[in-house]
Structure 1
Amino acid sequence: MNQPNATPAGPTRFGFFIAPYHPLNGNPTLQIQRDLELVELADRLGYAEAWVGEHHSAGMEIIAAPEVFLAAAAQRTQQIRLGTGVNSLPYHQPMMLADRLALADHLSKGRMMMGIGPGQLASDAAMMGVPPARQREMMHESLAALAPLLRGEVVSAKTDWFELNDARLQLLPYQQDGIELAVASTISPSGAVLAGKHGAGLLSLAASDPSGYEALMPNWKVYEQTMTANGHTVDRAKWRLVAPMHIAETREQARREAEWGVGHLVDYMKRLSGMDMPWGDTAAAAVEQWTGPGFPSFGRATIGTPDDAIAAIEALAQQSGGFGIFLVLGLNVADWDATLRSARLFAEHVIPHFTRANRNREASLNWANENSERFMTGLRAGIEAAFVTHGQALADALQPEEGN
């Protein structure tokens, strides 16, 4: 727990949360390849994690099996951890999903993580005949079977939508201590309760939404209480917050770059909800709304400079009381070159601020500055002593040679 008046701890690990969102007027094969390239770049730049979502309808979020995508990403990367963000548990037989995750963990040499949720798109559930009112209950039923399976236990369970009889995984995960689990949490405390019951981490997807922002501390308190009641250790370092960001060298440049593709998000929200967006007439007006009051579901975006990103993350740390991992929500609102430049700027200027990577470099320069008079005096004395010692040799060298 934080001490009274202590400054809340900011994150020390960073990553991307890739839904993904892709415009309908692009080449889907190339769009998915660019998602892989973003994970590759994140690995090279030192990001700690990449999470990839699961969706089955509405056309923009086009990765249906995140564990398949992440198995491909594992072959292109070296160190970055890879998470399903999230698996929609009501859409899967628990043993089959656990089996696929265990296999992906071997393919990645132990870098897999599992995000857990009930399913986001109502159109997904409708196509599969999953009753929306049952989705969260089905998620609880599934995780009650899936978590012990991943631990190597034998599970028998019967519900109205799946049955397991002395089920066990023939291949356990590569990680000896198991695959890390994280439960999606938005505004209601249901995710916090489920995570606390199973000792999973908390994945706060609506951290920048005004309602989600206000719910951060209450949900954490529910999570703490539930974790403790179930005998689990609470660790803020495993709390992940997600928020949309795009940065450039100036705010004006960042906003121009975001205007390139923000219309696709506005159209997506309009067509999913069946309602007009009153601020969707121009790209500039949409960006203004997004960075101000915010978008439904997507919350407020930080579109500006690295300093703006630092301020937004520090505000999240203050509001939440401290968390361990910040994930940039990848929205593809800027063109590809600008998206990559934003990722590089974030790695170059934002991450070192929170990891304090340059603290000893700064201390070393400050120490040199504070002692500069002493050091310069010694330097001058050394130069003068050298002239005394080697002055004759210098004079002889400057004498013209005989015959010249």
Structure 2
Amino acid sequence: MKFAVSLTMERFSPEVPMATVKNNLLTLARMADEGGFEMLWTAEHHTIECTISPNPFQTLVWLAQHTKHLRLGTSTLVAPYWDPIRLAGESALCDHLTNGRLEFGIARGSYQYEFDRMAGGMPQQEGVAYMKEIVPAVRKLWEGDYAHDGHYWKFPLATSVPKPLQRPHPRIWVAARDPGTFDWAIANGASILSTPLSAPAAEIQVLSDKFHKAVADHPEVPRPRFMMQRRTCVYDRPDGWEKAVQHSMDYGRAFENLMQNAGTVQNGFPEAVPYEAVKGKENYNPENIRKNLMFGTPDEVIEKLLVFEAAGVDQYCLGLTFNLPFELQKRTIELFVKEVMPVFAARENDRKRAAGG
């Protein structure tokens, strides 16, 4: 199992300068690069300060100038916000400017608050149809001249300029939770981005079963990769969970605001909805959060990660963007590099030796 980190510029107070936010992201990205993480993922979001990333390609090109080894991924582009020709060209140019390190991740989109501003108010659930139309169109544009006559987009013969550096194109990843999306993505040669959110560990196997069923149903397709992400905080002392859990709860209430349009957003800062208004109150039980999310000392985190490994996850992604204090984000990466990743590297080497013998 390989490891990635999900990082995005985030501000939760107008008192925090953008220069600080930018520099914090750069520091964490360099730490991940030097520490041996496989990938860095960054999201697309608009009009909200808690995720500052109106064009993730810009962020990845910038980070590419300051890192050497990290693969650089979009997690995720929001399909309804893009035109196929523009998406093909911008992603291909990003691939060149990152020296072939781009990983192309796309999704239907999540926050209804954003859809009301970026997609004419359409229900965010409808974004999946846009995704299913735009991904094949982008792939065709990367290949060469292509004319499109679809439901959402129509254009005469055109092509991506430039073409991607990676041949035939960057790896495509699709965010999936329901079986239909797993099946469509794998049938179309895409790898999978998924998350059990705040659900108990059993949800990891549920998602894994969906992935492996889709893989089995499409033997004609080379096996794709399977990434899973959780909010993550690694700390030195067993009582370190309290701060991580509190930040997760507070962030979750802001997240509910954006998902449900259940509160106000002032100058880009969403208010945290009252506890009484949240859905799935069991997800706000401190003990459930401590148990379900990737919070723990290095030994506790290793035990939790073994569940992901057993489920066939190829890449575990540390979700660090939930207003966790910067020092805790840094300490999480430090402890992960020093005490967690070597355990899984050793396990992989043991398996290789066993297979070779």
Contact 1:20 1:330 in 2 (8 A): no
1:345-378 deviation per Cα after TM superposition (whole angstroms, max 9, x unaligned)? 1011111111118979xxxxxxxxxxxxxxxxxx
SS at 2:275 equivalent: coil
Where does 1:166-177 land on structure 2 (aligned, <5 Å)?
A: 166-177=157-168
Following superposition, the deviation at residue 338 of structure 1 comes to 2.1
Q: Which residue of 2 aligns with 1:148?
A: 140
Q: Which residue of 1 aligns with 2:355?
A: none
C-alpha spacing 1:264/1:276, structure 2 compared with 1 (3 Å) = closer
Contact 1:260 1:335 in 2 (8 A): no
Runs of 4+ in 1 over 6 A off after TM superposition: 357-360
In structure 1, how many angstroms separate the alpha carbons of the residues matched to 2:247 and 2:18?
16
Following superposition, the deviation at residue 303 of structure 1 comes to 1.7
1:215 aligns with 2:202: no
SS at 2:47 equivalent: coil
1:164 aligns with 2:155: yes
Where does 1:341-360 land on structure 2 (aligned, <5 Å)?
A: 341-356=331-346
Contact 1:51 1:84 in 2 (8 A): yes
Contact 1:257 1:338 in 2 (8 A): no
In structure 2, how many angstroms separate the alpha carbons of the residues matched to 1:184 and 1:359?
30
The one of 304, 308, 317 aligned to 1:312: 304
Aligned identity (percent) is 21
The one of 94, 105, 121 aligned to 2:84: 94
Contact 1:112 1:179 in 2 (8 A): yes
Q: Which residue of 2 aligns with 1:129?
A: 120
C-alpha spacing 1:330/1:307, structure 2 compared with 1 (3 Å) = same
SS at 2:340 equivalent: helix
Alpha-carbon RMSD across the aligned residues, in angstroms, is: 2.6
Q: Which residue of 1 aligns with 2:172?
A: 181
1:182-214 deviation per Cα after TM superposition (whole angstroms, max 9, x unaligned)? 11012x113312211211111112365347435
C-alpha spacing 1:335/1:260, structure 2 compared with 1 (3 Å) = farther
Where does 1:195-206 land on structure 2 (aligned, <5 Å)?
A: 195-206=185-196
Moved more, 172-181 or 68-77: 172-181
Q: Which residue of 1 aligns with 2:226?
A: 239
- Structure 2 unaligned blocks of 5 or more: 263-272, 279-283, 351-357
Q: Which residue of 2 aligns with 1:48?
A: 38
The letter of the residue matching 2:164 is P
1:261 aligns with 2:250: no
The one of 269, 274, 277 aligned to 1:276: 274
Q: TM-score, normalised by structure 2?
A: 0.84
Contact 2:108 2:126 in 1 (8 A): no
In structure 2, how many angstroms separate the alpha carbons of the residues matched to 1:269 and 1:15?
22
In structure 2, how many angstroms separate the alpha carbons of the residues matched to 1:100 and 1:255?
41
Following superposition, the deviation at residue 225 of structure 1 comes to 3.8
Contact 1:270 1:277 in 2 (8 A): no
Contact 2:10 2:21 in 1 (8 A): no
In structure 1, how many angstroms separate the alpha carbons of the residues matched to 2:213 and 2:306?
23
Contact 2:174 2:192 in 1 (8 A): yes
Following superposition, the deviation at residue 37 of structure 1 comes to 2.1
The letter of the residue matching 2:169 is G
SS at 1:339 equivalent: helix
Q: Which residue of 2 aligns with 1:24?
A: 13
1:134-158 deviation per Cα after TM superposition (whole angstroms, max 9, x unaligned)? 31111101112012222x2322112
Following superposition, the deviation at residue 64 of structure 1 comes to 1.3
C-alpha spacing 1:191/1:251, structure 2 compared with 1 (3 Å) = farther
The one of 101, 112, 131 aligned to 2:102: 112
1:14-64 deviation per Cα after TM superposition (whole angstroms, max 9, x unaligned)? 111235554235334422331222111100111110000011134311211
SS at 2:103 equivalent: strand
The letter of the residue matching 2:75 is G
1:310-363 deviation per Cα after TM superposition (whole angstroms, max 9, x unaligned)? 111111223x2x121111111344321221011011011111111118979xxx
Contact 2:227 2:317 in 1 (8 A): yes
Contact 1:206 1:243 in 2 (8 A): yes
Following superposition, the deviation at residue 239 of structure 1 comes to 1.2
SS at 1:199 equivalent: coil
In structure 2, how many angstroms separate the alpha carbons of the residues matched to 1:27 and 1:332?
18
1:288 aligns with 2:259: no
- Structure 1 unaligned blocks of 5 or more: 1-10, 293-299, 361-404
SS at 1:243 equivalent: strand
C-alpha spacing 1:265/1:286, structure 2 compared with 1 (3 Å) = farther
The letter of the residue matching 2:88 is A
The letter of the residue matching 2:251 is L
In structure 2, how many angstroms separate the alpha carbons of the residues matched to 1:21 and 1:185?
24
The one of 302, 323, 335 aligned to 2:294: 302
Moved more, 271-280 or 135-144: 271-280
Following superposition, the deviation at residue 258 of structure 1 comes to 1.9
Contact 1:183 1:194 in 2 (8 A): no
